Amino acid sequence: MFEKILHKIDVIDARVAAISQELKAPHGAMQPIFLSVSIQTTINALKAFREPVTAEQISAVTGRVRAVESMHLNELFRMGLAREEKRSRTAFFSLKEEFFAKG
């Protein structure tokens, strides 16, 4: 019984080691990200400002309601394409430099 348990532990350890190595391995060139036209509009508005802005400021440029822009800005933040900076209760967003440089 004890030998069976030790064998299972060895099998699990081998699987964990294989997964760990796979995660560390380089994955080649970056894959392109396909974004909806709606989010691309938000990105273009962010590029126009070149400084941290609120969803309200973006909505003034795009003509869409603040809630929609807030949703898009938060999605960009979750995707790692934008930074979020809280000032009091207001969130300010900006594109990350490495993303901005490519666009």
pLDDT in tens, 35-56: 889 999 999 999 888 789 999 9
> Does pTM top 0.75 for this prediction?
no
Could you count the other beta carbons within 10 Å of the beta carbon of residue 81? 20
Output the pLDDT for position 16.
Answer: 84
What backbone torsions phi and psi does residue 98 show, to the nearest 5 degrees? -65, -30
The answer on pLDDT for 101 being more than 60 is: no
The helix (run of H) or strand (run of E) holding residue 96 is none
- 83 pLDDT band, cuts 50/70/90, is very high
Helix, strand, or coil (residue 83):
strand
User: What would the mean pLDDT of 60-65 be, rounded to a whole number?
Assistant: 94
Q: Which domains does the chain have, with CATH numbers?
A: 37-102 (1.10.10.10)
Helix residue ranges, H only, 1-103: 2-24, 37-49, 55-62, 66-78, 97-102
Q: What span, in angstroms and rounded, lies between the C-alpha atoms of 82 and 85?
A: 10
> To 10 degrees, what angle do helices 37-49 and 66-78 make?
90
CB 42 within 8 A of CB 61: no
